[in-house]
A and B are shown apart, each in its own frame.
Chain A
Amino acid sequence: MTDTPVLSVRDLVVEIPTRHGVLRPVDTVSYDIHAGEILGVVGESGAGKSMAGNAVIGLLDRPARIVSGEVLLSGQPIHNLKGDAIRRLRGKKMGMIFQDPLTSLNPLLTVGDQLTETILEHLSVGQTEARKRAIAALEEVGIPAAAQRINSYPHEFSGGMRQRVVIALALCAEPDLVIADEPTTALDVSIQAQIVALLKRLCRDRGVAVMLVTHDMGVIAEAADRVAVMYAGRLAELGPVREVLTNAHHPYTAGLMASTPLASQGRKRLRQIPGSMPRLGALPSGCAFHPRCEFAQEKCRAEPGPTLDRCDGRAACWFPLTDERKVSA
C-alpha cells in the first residue's frame, strides 16, 4: 500500500529579483514528510530553510516567488494555488508556528478570540462549540485553568505559555501538516525542552506531519525522525536523524557535528569550519561549499551544483565521506 506523504516538495526553486540580480534562496530542494513524522530542516541563518517553509504554506513575501518545482499536499499540487484556494488550506490542512510567540499573537485580542475565530473559520461548528474546543485546545497544550485563561490577553502569559498558545492555535483546526519555524529560538533554554516535547507528543498522537525548521542541532537530535541539512539555499544532506548525526556523508554536516558540543565528546576543543556561508548574491561556482571544504577537488569547483539524486542519494557531494575519510570526532 502506497503511503502518500503528507507533504511532498519536488525540485522547488524560489527566486527573488533584486537590484543586484536574481537570488535563489531555495534552489532545487526536495523532501517528503509522512504522517506522524518529524522532518528537521537545519542550517545556518540565511540557508533558505525558513523560505522553503514559507513557500510551502504560500506566504512568500513579494517579490520572492516560486519559479519551478512542485509542492504537493497529500498528493494534491498546491504550489499554483492563489487567493482563496490556498487560504482555505491554511489552518485546516497545514499550520505554521513562528519564532517569536510575543509578536505572533495580536496584543489587542484575547487568546480565546483568536482561537475561536480560527475554529469557526475552518470547522463547521457553532459559537458555543467553538469556545468549548478552544478551551480544550488550551488544556491540551498544558495551560492550567484554561477556562479562565481563555479570556486573557497575550501579554498576560509568560513566554513559554505563549508559545503553547501559539501551538494550540496552529493545531486547533486539525491540520495534517505543521511547519514550525524556529519554535524554540526565542525561548529560555529551560522552556525549550518542554515545548519540543509538547510538539512531539501532540504530533505523534494526532499523526500530524511536522517540518521542524531550526538552526539548533540539539533540538533536531531530540525531536526529529529525519533531517534535511541546507546550505546556501541548497539541500546538502537528507537522511534519518541517527544516521546523519553520527555518520554524516556531507563534509558540511560533518563539520557542523564536529563544531556542536555534545556531552559525549568530553573536553575536546571544538572544531570550526573555516570561513562562513556565502551570501546568495556571491555564490561560488560548482558546489557551494567547496571553498570551505577540506576535501574539495577540481570537480567540486568546476561542475555545476551536485544534488542528492546525482550523487549517492543521501548527500549532495561528489565525494561523500566514507569511514576512512571521516573527520576525527
Chain B
Amino acid sequence: MTDAAESRTPAPENRARRVWNSDFIWSFRHAPVAIISFVVVLVLVLAAVLAPLIAPHDPFDPGTLNLMNGFTAPGEPNAFTGDQFLLGTDDQGRDVFSTILYGMRISLFVGFAAVMLAMVIGVTLGLLAGYLGGWFETIIMRVADVQLTFPAILVAMLIFGIAKGITPPEYRDEMAIWVLILAIGLSDWVQFARVVRGATLVEKSKEYVQAARLIGRTPFSIMLRHILPNVLNPVLVIATISLALAIIAEATLSFLGVGAPPTKPSLGTLIRIGQEFMFSGEWWILFFPALALLALALSINLLGDWLRDALNPRLR
C-alpha cells in the first residue's frame, strides 16, 4: 500500500535506532513490570555466574568450614568464633549468602541445560516428523500424546527414579545434577516437537522447499538450511517459558529430595534443609534461600508472561 503523496524524506537511520523504536522494545520500555523483572533476573543471573568471585566463602570446601560457626544469626557475631556472616550460617557452619549464590548457580545451570536438551530433542524430532511423515511421524506423535497425558513434573520424577535405580549408589550424588537435567529435559521436549512439526508441515508445502528438492538437495540439508530457520520463531517463545518452568521444576524436585543433593545443593535443596529448622528458631536458614527462589521465580515468570503477550500476534 503506497503512502500518501507527501513522502517523508527517509533519514539515514541506523539499526540501533530502529530497534529502539520498534513495537516490541517500545512496549517493553512502557511496561514497568517487564523492566523491573528484567533487571531482577539480570542481577540474579550475574550474581550466580560470578558466584566464585562474589561469595565471601566457598561453602563446599570442607577445609574452610568451622562447625562451631553453625547456627549463627545474620549479622551477629558468633558466640564462639566471633565471625560474622551477612545472612547467617546453617547447621554445618556454611555461610548462607554463599550457599545461596552457589545454589542459584546450580538452579540456573540445570534450568538452562534442561531447556537446551528439550529443545534439541524436540526440534529434531519435530523436524523429522514433519518432513519425513509416514510411520515415523505417527510413532513420534503417538509417543508425544502418551507423554502429554501426564504432567511434566511427574514424568521428570519417574525418569529420575528410574535413572537412580540404574545408577550404582556410590555415584548417585555426583550424577544427580546430570540426571536432573536429563529428567527435566526429557519431560519437556514434547511441546517443542509439536510446534516444530506443525510449522514444518506448513513450510514443507511452500515453493522454496519444492524448488530445493528439484535441484536435488538432500532431505537433511533441506531441513537444516531451509526449514529450520523458518520454524525457530515460535520455538524461542516456548523456550523462554520453558526456562521459567524448568527452574521451578528443578527447585521442586530438589526440595522433594529427588534432585540436587545436599552436597551440591540448589535453592530447592537449601529450602528443604531449612524447613527442618523452621520451628527451632533459626529462621534464616529457610528464609533467605526461599526469598531468593521467590525473586527468581517471580521475575522470570513476569518477564515470560509479558514476553508471551508481546509476541502474540493475535493481541496486536
Direct contact of A and B (CB under 8 A): yes
Q: Mark A18-43, 1 if CB is under 8 A from B, else 0.
A: 01000000000000000000000000
Question: Which of A19, A276, A284 meets B1, CB within 8 Å?
Answer: A276
- Which secondary structure dominates where chain B touches chain A? loop
* Interface pair A282/B2, CB less than 8 Å apart: no
* Interface pair A291/B5, CB less than 8 Å apart: yes
Q: Mark B1-27, 1 if CB is under 8 A from A, else 0.
A: 111111000000000000000000010
Q: Mark A280-308, 1 if CB is under 8 A from B, else 0.
A: 00111100000100000000000000000
* Interface pair A284/B2, CB less than 8 Å apart: no
Shortest CB distance A21–B (Å)? 14
Shortest CB distance B1–A (Å)? 6
Chain A residues whose C-beta falls within 8 Å of the C-beta of B6 in the assembled complex: 284-285
Size of the A side of the interface (Cβ < 8 Å), in residues, is 10
Q: Which of B3, B5, B26 has the most CB of A within 10 A?
A: B5
A278 at the interface (CB under 8 A from B): yes
Tell me, in angstroms, the Cα distance from A282 to B1 when the chains sit together: 12
Tell me, in angstroms, the Cα distance from A284 to B5 when the chains sit together: 7
Tell me, in angstroms, the Cα distance from A10 to B51 when the chains sit together: 71
Tell me, in angstroms, the Cα distance from A282 to B6 when the chains sit together: 9
Chain A residues whose C-beta falls within 8 Å of the C-beta of B1 in the assembled complex: 276, 279
Chain B residues whose C-beta falls within 8 Å of the C-beta of A275 in the assembled complex: 2
Q: Mark B254-272, 1 if CB is under 8 A from A, else 0.
A: 0000000000000000000
- Which secondary structure dominates where chain A touches chain B? loop
Tell me, in angstroms, the Cα distance from A279 to B1 when the chains sit together: 9
* Interface pair A283/B2, CB less than 8 Å apart: no
Q: Which residues of B in the span 117-173 have a Cβ within 8 Å of any Cβ on A?
A: none
In the complex, the chain A residue whose C-beta lies closest to that of B30 is A19
Chain A residues whose C-beta falls within 8 Å of the C-beta of B3 in the assembled complex: 278-279, 282
Tell me, in angstroms, the Cα distance from A283 to B2 when the chains sit together: 12
Tell me, in angstroms, the Cα distance from A226 to B103 when the chains sit together: 77
Chain A residues whose C-beta falls within 8 Å of the C-beta of B2 in the assembled complex: 275-276
Chain A residues whose C-beta falls within 8 Å of the C-beta of B26 in the assembled complex: 19
Shortest CB distance A46–B (Å)? 10
Chain B residues whose C-beta falls within 8 Å of the C-beta of A276 in the assembled complex: 1-2
In the complex, the chain A residue whose C-beta lies closest to that of B6 is A284
Shortest CB distance B26–A (Å)? 8
In the complex, the chain B residue whose C-beta lies closest to that of A19 is B26
Shortest CB distance B20–A (Å)? 15
In the complex, the chain A residue whose C-beta lies closest to that of B8 is A282
Tell me, in angstroms, the Cα distance from A76 to B4 when the chains sit together: 40
Chain B residues whose C-beta falls within 8 Å of the C-beta of A285 in the assembled complex: 6
Tell me, in angstroms, the Cα distance from A73 to B1 when the chains sit together: 38
Tell me, in angstroms, the Cα distance from A285 to B5 when the chains sit together: 10
Shortest CB distance B67–A (Å)? 62
Shortest CB distance B31–A (Å)? 14
In the complex, the chain B residue whose C-beta lies closest to that of A284 is B4
Chain B residues whose C-beta falls within 8 Å of the C-beta of A291 in the assembled complex: 4-5
Q: Which residues of A in the span 244-292 have a Cβ within 8 Å of any Cβ on B?
A: 275-276, 278-279, 282-285, 291
Shortest CB distance A47–B (Å)? 14
Chain B residues whose C-beta falls within 8 Å of the C-beta of A283 in the assembled complex: 4
Tell me, in angstroms, the Cα distance from A275 to B3 when the chains sit together: 9
Tell me, in angstroms, the Cα distance from A279 to B3 when the chains sit together: 8
Tell me, in angstroms, the Cα distance from A120 to B315 when the chains sit together: 36
Tell me, in angstroms, the Cα distance from A152 to B68 when the chains sit together: 81
Shortest CB distance A234–B (Å)? 15
In the complex, the chain B residue whose C-beta lies closest to that of A292 is B5
Tell me, in angstroms, the Cα distance from A278 to B6 when the chains sit together: 11
In the complex, the chain B residue whose C-beta lies closest to that of A281 is B4
Q: Which of B1, B4, B6, B26 has the most CB of A within 10 A?
A: B4
Q: Which residues of A in the span 56-97 have a Cβ within 8 Å of any Cβ on B?
A: none
In the complex, the chain A residue whose C-beta lies closest to that of B5 is A291
In the complex, the chain A residue whose C-beta lies closest to that of B7 is A282
Tell me, in angstroms, the Cα distance from A276 to B26 when the chains sit together: 30
Interface residues of A (CB under 8 A from B): 19, 275-276, 278-279, 282-285, 291
Closest CB pairs A-B (n = 9):
A291-B5, A282-B4, A278-B4, A284-B4, A284-B5, A276-B1, A282-B3, A275-B2, A276-B2
Question: Can you list 5 A-B contacts with CB-CB less than 8 angstroms, sorted by A residue number?
Answer: A19-B26, A278-B4, A279-B1, A279-B3, A279-B4
Interface residues of B (CB under 8 A from A): 1-6, 26
Known interface pairs A19-B26, A279-B1, A291-B5; 9 further A-B residue pairs with C-beta atoms within 8 A, sorted by A's residue number: A275-B2, A276-B1, A276-B2, A278-B3, A278-B4, A279-B4, A282-B4, A283-B4, A285-B6
